[in-house]
Each structure stands twice: as C-alpha cells, then as structure tokens.
Amino acid sequence: MDMKQPPPHSASGSRPIFRERLEARYGSPPDRAAAAREMTPAPGWAPLVEIALRAMWTTASPVDLSFGVKDKYGKLVFEQLRVTDELYTLLDQLEHLSASLCEVCGAPAAATETHGWIRTLCPSHRVTIEQAGEAFRAIYDEGYAALTP
C-alpha cells in the first residue's frame, strides 16, 4: 500500500461531515479534545467513536486525555492512548464491537477481503462494494452522507 494513499473508506467530504455531526450533537469539545475532531472513522463506526469521545469529554481527570483512531485489519483501533483505566476498558470494548459491525452502515457484519483490504461488511455492502470496482468509495460517501446531523 502506498503510504500517501488515503484509507480505503476516505472520501473528499468525509472529514467535514463527521466533524459537523459531532459539533451539532455535542457542541464544541473541550480544548483538551480538540484534535479528536480531526478523526475520520469509517461511517458505520462513527457512532462508536462518538461514544468514546463523549466518554472522554465528560471524564473528570487531572490530566489531558487523548486518543487517536484508525481502522486496521477490519476493525476500529484506538491508539496513542492517554486515558484513564475506565476509558481504556471502554475503548477496548468498542474495538471488539467494531469487528462485528459493518464499517459502512453499522449493521451486523463479518470481516472479508475486498480490493486488497480487510473490511468488515454486512452482506449487502460486501456485494455492492465488490460490484462497484474502483468506484467503491462512492458507497462510503453515501454512508458519510447518512451521518449528517
């Protein structure tokens, strides 16, 4: 994989849509979590990241809390953790849950390899992404569009 290539679900409009959704639902986060607004999970996993962010933003802690997020091997991965023990436990549970949810829509799913990537897809999105060929990112765009507040 070319390191300059965007993640397999990346789409031009995805970052603003996810950031706008977070701010519309929860308002601007505390300064300590400002960088978290730049995260862009696959659209079906966005609710899991929202749960993690909300838990972080409401945690009373004497230190600044932070984490990063990416997808790897068909699941959501929280990384660069600077969190409390309770938040660590929640993030671990969310990672495991993501491995059973469609990364496009959040429906029950299983890991599969498509277009050279391991993805977690429901049966419907597995078929549509395979059939879309090189235009498969448009399917993720539809998932991001469904996230609008």
Domain boundaries, the chain: 14-145
| Vertex 97 angle, CA 85 and 34, to 5° | 55
Q: What is the DSSP letter of 149?
A: -
Instruction: Write down the pLDDT at residue 129.
Output: 93
Residue bearing tokens 């400002």? 34
User: Which amino acid is residue 37, in one-letter code?
Assistant: R
Average pLDDT (141-147) is 85
Which residue stretches of the chain are H helix? 14-26, 46-57, 85-98, 123-132, 137-145
Task: Write the pLDDT tens digit of every residue in 65-120.
Answer: 777 788 889 999 888 777 888 888 999 999 999 999 999 999 999 999 988 889 99
Task: Write the pLDDT tens digit of every residue in 15-66.
Answer: 455 656 666 665 555 444 444 445 678 899 988 988 888 888 777 665 677 7
Report the predicted TM-score, pTM, of the whole model to 2 decimal places: 0.77
Pair of tokens at residue 94 = 């969310």
